[in-house]
Structure formats: C-alpha cells, structure tokens
Chain A
Amino acid sequence: MYRVFLYDGTFEGFLTCAERILSVDIDIEKLRIENKSTYQPMFFDTAVFVNANKGISNMLKERIIKKADKNTFKKIYYCFLSEVQNKEMYIYKYIKLVLKQGKKVKYFYHDDVVNFVEKVSKSVSREIGKYMGLMRFNESEDGLLYAQFEPVNDILVPISYFFRGRLANFRWIIHDKKRGKLSFYENGRIRFLKKADLKTAFSNEDLLYQNLWKTYFKTMTIEERKNLKLQRQNMPKKYWKYLTEKK
C-alpha cells in the first residue's frame, strides 16, 4: 500500500510535490511520486494530485541552492529531464539528503541515490553538450532557421536557451520530433509550443551551403588517419539522421 503523489509532469509540478511531502514527513518506503499522465492506479493505493505552484517550487529551489549550491540544483534539474524509470523517488531522496548535508553529498560515493543522480545528470548534460554541436539548422526562403532532433532526454528547454545566446539575431525553431513539441524564437523571446505540422522548404541558398558544408566535411578527412570507429564513438549513429554532412 502506497501513498501516491501525482504531479503534472513539469519540473515545477514535481518540486511543488516534493516540497509538500517534505513538510509532512512520510515514511519513504510507503511513498511514491508519479507523473499523472503515466500513472496506473493500483487498488490499495491512495493517490492525490498536487497542483504545480510557482511560488512553492521556487521556495524549494532557493532552499536547495542556499544549503548546497547552484550546481547541485542543476544536477537535480538535469536528472529530472531524463526519462529513467522511477527518477522521481531518487530525486526526492536526493533533495532530502542535500537539505540535510549540503553540497558535500557529491562525495558520498557509497550512496546509491547520490550515484544515481550523478550518473543520470551527467548523461543528460552530455547529451545537451552533444546537441550544442550537432544541431543543424536549415534556412527557409523567408530567413527562418529550422532544426529538428530526437533527443533521448527531454532537453528542449535548456538547448533552446543555449541557442538564444548564440542565434540571437535570427528567428528560429527547434523541433523535438520525438515528443512532438518545439521552441520558437523571435525578438529575444522563446515560446514553447506543442506540436505542429511544419512544412519545411529550404531556400536554394540553403542547399548551396548544405553542399559547401558536405564538401568541406569530406575534405577535412586525413586519409592516412582514417578511423571510422572513432568517428562513430564520438558521433554515434543515432545523431546522423539530421546531420547535413551524413545525409
């Protein structure tokens, strides 16, 4: 028999939920936190839905940063972006530990919860890092840049903020094809939108630059050093689908 707390799937919702549970101190063995949209009710469980609340989630965020540091909070956020089973309970336990012990938890190599958060957040961070380089934009006739990707983790938000700094002077869309959502940037502002059927027509100029890039890419290989295994190791096949140079 579990007490189940449901949240709306957002990070804010999750933090609100976590804050609620922290304040009532429930036996951790009898507790579950689940995304409402994937939750399958069990007969003996009691489930409550916790509404996302910006104020409450911010409070918890500040508390974590004050007790530990920004980096620790970032790990929590990144870990949340993963789609690893049961991440909620791990993160909840981690938050509890951080609020007690501060940032030194990162040295708790023995601790399964710490190990989980370290490992998962690192893999999310690595994926964000990869896409910083491997995202490809195509330009349409009216100058809109369009990129599509299918990330393992739900990283549309952080990656969009990265490109806001980089492509500030342009209008662009980043489309997460796997989750059917996208970010649209214009005039300094990013909007996150649910799916849309996008027609993607590239300009002739874009085709020219695609071609130039492919040529350059081929040219840069030093035949004497050819090493396709290493290439695949650094740039696994799963990324190739949207890579101009690999098409």
Chain B
Amino acid sequence: MDILEKLQILGAAAKYDVSCASSGSKRETNYGIGSTFTAGICHSWTDDGRCISLLKILFTNECIFDCAYCVNRKSNDIKRATFTPFEIAELTINFYKRNYIEGLFLSSAIKNSPDWTMEMLYKTVYLLRYKYQFNGYIHVKAIPYASLDLIRKTGFLADRMSVNIELPSEKSLKLLCPNKTKESILKPMEFITKVGEEERNFVSAGQSTQMIIGATDDSDRKIITLSQNLYKKFKLKRVYYSAYTPVNDDPRILKVEKPPLLREHRLYQADWLIRVYNFTADELFEKDENLDLEVDPKVMWALRHLDRFPVEVNRASYEDLIRVPGIGIKSARRIIKNRIFHSLDFDDLKKIGVVLKRAKYFITCNGKTYERHLIDTAPEKIKLQLIEKRVAEQKVHQLSFFDTETFGSVITGEI
C-alpha cells in the first residue's frame, strides 16, 4: 500500500480526535529542526472550520478491541493500514519544513497487543527526536494496558501525552467498551501525573484527555463533576469533549441523528467556568441535570442566584465581578485597574469590553442601573432577553475546537 493511501486511511481514522492544541510546551533547544511556540499556531482550517495544527494520525487502525462507538473496532469491516515509524517520521519532517504543521499528534488503535502498539509509538517518537533531531511539538497517546515502563520512556520524548477517558461513567464504559476497565485508563493517567511531578522534561506540556458526549445517557452534571475531579486529582491541562458522530449502528449506543454540537459547546463553556472562573460543579448544577442549551452556563447560574445581584461595579471584588454575565477575566481586571483613577460609568464599561447586553441586568454603576427597572425583572423575563436565538453554528464550532487559552483575546471563550 502506498503512503498516500495510508495517510488517507489513518488520517481519516484520527479526525474525530479533538485535541488540536499545540500550546504550552517549554521545549527549548538550539539545535536541530523546529521549535514549539507557546501560543499554538493554526496552519490551516478544514472545510468544517476546524483548525489544523498538528499532523494527526493513527499509527494503525487495526484493533484487537471492540468498542461500540468506534469505527476501528474489530468487528467492523473496513480497510486497514499500518504505518512504519520511518514513514511517520518522514511525513512529519517534510510537512513541518513546508510549514504545513506545528508537529505530530500520534494516536493508535491496538494492534497485536497494547505493548506492541506502545513500543511502535515510542520508536516513532524516538526516531523523530534523535535521528531527525526534531524539536517541534509531539503529542502521543498512552495506550491502555501498555507497560508503564514504555509509557515512561515515551513521556520523556513527548510534549504532551493523553489517555482517553472515553466515557463519563464506569457504567457507560462497561456497556460500550467491554475490553477496557476504569483501571486500565486511570492507572496510566495517574502514572503520567506522578512522573510528571517528579521529573523534569517529562510531558512538559502536560496531560489531557477526551470524552465522548451524547453516546450514553450521562448527564452534564456528571460530566462536569468528572472533569473537575480530573483537573484536581490528575492535574490535567485540558479535558476535551467530543460530540458523538454516529459511525456505527449499535443498539447499545443512544440514537443520535446529528452530533450534539450545541451541548458540546455548553460543556466547554462550563469547563471554562470551573477551570478559570473558580466555579464548582455543585454550584453550576442543582440536581442531576444538563446545562441549559438556550443560555450560557454563567447566565444559567446567575438567573438562579439573582439574590447575589446587582453587583456594584465600582466596589465589587474581583471574584464577584467575574461572575457577572458579560464580564470576563480581562474586563474584570480592567475594571479594577481603572476605577482607581475615577469611578466608572456605563460608557467606560463599554470601552473596557464589558458586554452590556448581558451585564446590564446584573450590575449597577454608582448605584444606578443601566435602564430603569432593569434589576427587578423576574428571571424568566431576563432569560427571554438573553436567549441566544440562533447560536450561530459557527460559534459552536469555534469554541469547541480551539484551545481557547492559546488564542488570547482573539477567541477568549470568556462568558
């Protein structure tokens, strides 16, 4: 099979993997090929508007496992292919020097055995780093059940590693991935965290994970609670959510017509709130429920806690400011810096970047509201005003596929 066909098959098989981020690496050397850039760079955008940053491929799509939601599962009759480490190294270097890509994202199905597969991934990265002296970004998947020693060796060569958590609960995992256990996923994850804390130059851009949304009946509360624990316990850099695209007709999977993109978008927003805005999952949710699709999670929270508003912009603490819908981290900081010079009015807020359309229901400036009677409005009425009538499809894509942090003010994801 020629390289073109392999690339077709093994690129297509990897495209649902969402973690495109290539940022946060501190790899610094002054020899060899390439560099990593802390802000992350997009090299192209596909027809669906997603950023291409890394050469994202599978080493092989031959699999001994049979996960219900996966195209590559053993029981599917599809074309199979396997790269060699040399082929991947050549592709990476040649794409890199033409500035097509920022680096490599190497994942794989499990061929022969977990150890065989992990060994191949290790060999590929080894070749790139030592023979080709490649300093660009490399993200490698850790294969469940692979020996920790192999994972360790690989981790010293990679910028980032990730183990997919796959599904939001053990119950769902049992149902859809009979070959994988909770331990087979959490053990390598924990191991990577541990070594990362002990050793320098081990996955210096940290660890991430990914889970599938909408293939099972797990609620958003469960999902966000899980993410919160992953951030806390394993110090993960990011959790990625991937709206399930129906590829297999399997009775164990919830019927989905279309990938639940809006839900995915809301989950990223909620994730952002717990990572950056100091919210907790328990604050965001009142019961075992999903996020409101009509308004963003911060608005959802604010409407349930109107007793904490209005917030007086000229006096409120930073913590209270960032909880106001329409005020992001950046504008909150600016408010605090600016009100030292003079007290702020609504015009100033606009210039600072506050989205008054949303914020006006929740703030006062020197005791005054934006328009009269705004503050006493009932939550349902405010909500009616704030419903994002057509959350433009594009916006949905944008937030979910960018590593929002990396693009600073361009796409801040601030809500």
Q: How far is the CA of A215 from the CA of B2 in the complex (A)?
A: 13
CB neighbours (8 Å) of B52 from chain A are: 217, 220
CB neighbours (8 Å) of A139 from chain B are: 97-98
Query: Which of A137, A209, A245 contacts B44, CB < 8 Å?
Result: A245
Stretch from B3-11, B157-165, B222-230 that touches the partner: B3-11
A107-B44 contact given A212-B91, A216-B7, A216-B11, CB 8 Å threshold: no
CB neighbours (8 Å) of A212 from chain B are: 3-4, 7, 91, 94-95
**Binary interface encoding of chain B residues 330-359 relative to chain A, with 1 for a CB under 8 A from any of its CBs, else 0:** 000010011001000000100110000000
CB neighbours (8 Å) of B412 from chain A are: none
B245 at interface, CB cutoff 8 A? yes
B397 at interface, CB cutoff 8 A? yes
A167 at interface, CB cutoff 8 A? yes
Q: How far is the CA of A132 from the CA of B34 in the complex (A)?
A: 13
Q: How far is the CA of A165 from the CA of B352 in the complex (A)?
A: 36
Total residues of chain B contacting the partner, CB 8 A = 55
CB neighbours (8 Å) of B41 from chain A are: 129, 132-133
A37 at interface, CB cutoff 8 A? no
Interface residues on A, range: 35 or more
Stretch from A46-54, A67-75, A92-100, A221-229 that touches the partner: A221-229
Complex contact A234–B45 (CB within 8 A): yes
CB neighbours (8 Å) of B79 from chain A are: none
B187 at interface, CB cutoff 8 A? no
A234-B4 contact given A136-B98, A213-B98, A225-B261, CB 8 Å threshold: no
CB neighbours (8 Å) of B44 from chain A are: 133-134, 217, 235, 243, 245
Say how far A73's CB is from chain B's closest CB, in angstroms: 19
Complex contact B35–A165 (CB within 8 A): yes
**Binary interface encoding of chain A residues 180-221 relative to chain B, with 1 for a CB under 8 A from any of its CBs, else 0:** 000000000000000000000000001001011101110111
A224-B245 contact given A109-B348, A217-B44, CB 8 Å threshold: yes
Say how far A123's CB is from chain B's closest CB, in angstroms: 11
Q: How far is the CA of A228 from the CA of B55 in the complex (A)?
A: 21
A109-B351 contact given A209-B98, A226-B48, CB 8 Å threshold: yes
**Binary interface encoding of chain A residues 158-175 relative to chain B, with 1 for a CB under 8 A from any of its CBs, else 0:** 000001011111100000
Say how far B170's CB is from chain A's closest CB, in angstroms: 29
B398 at interface, CB cutoff 8 A? yes
CB neighbours (8 Å) of B3 from chain A are: 212
Complex contact A169–B33 (CB within 8 A): yes
B49 at interface, CB cutoff 8 A? yes
Q: How far is the CA of A227 from the CA of B398 in the complex (A)?
A: 11
A38 at interface, CB cutoff 8 A? no
A57 at interface, CB cutoff 8 A? no
- Nearest B residue to A205, CB-CB: B94
Which of B7, B34, B99 gathers the greatest number of chain A CB atoms within 10 Å?
A: B99
- Nearest B residue to A137, CB-CB: B98
- Report A126-150 residues with CB < 8 Å from chain B CB: 126, 129, 132-139, 145, 147
Complex contact A170–B394 (CB within 8 A): no
A228-B97 contact given A107-B338, A212-B4, A216-B55, CB 8 Å threshold: no
Complex contact A224–B258 (CB within 8 A): yes
CB neighbours (8 Å) of A211 from chain B are: 4
Q: How far is the CA of A132 from the CA of B53 in the complex (A)?
A: 11
Complex contact A107–B42 (CB within 8 A): no
Complex contact B410–A126 (CB within 8 A): yes
Complex contact B97–A167 (CB within 8 A): yes
B43 at interface, CB cutoff 8 A? yes
List, sorted by A's number, 30 A–B pairs whose CB atoms are closer than 8 Å. Answer: A129-B39, A129-B41, A133-B44, A133-B53, A136-B99, A136-B100, A137-B98, A145-B97, A166-B34, A167-B33, A213-B95, A215-B8, A216-B7, A219-B7, A219-B11, A220-B46, A220-B50, A222-B46, A222-B48, A225-B48, A225-B50, A226-B47, A227-B394, A228-B47, A228-B49, A229-B49, A229-B394, A230-B45, A231-B48, A234-B45
For the complex of A and B, the 9 pairs showing the least CB-CB separation, nearest first, are: A230-B49, A225-B48, A109-B351, A230-B394, A221-B47, A227-B49, A219-B11, A133-B43, A234-B45
Residue positions of B touching A, CB distance < 8 A: 3-4, 7-8, 11-12, 15-16, 30, 32-35, 37, 39, 41-53, 55-56, 91, 94-95, 97-100, 102, 133, 245, 258-259, 261, 334, 337-338, 341, 348, 351-352, 393-394, 397-398, 410
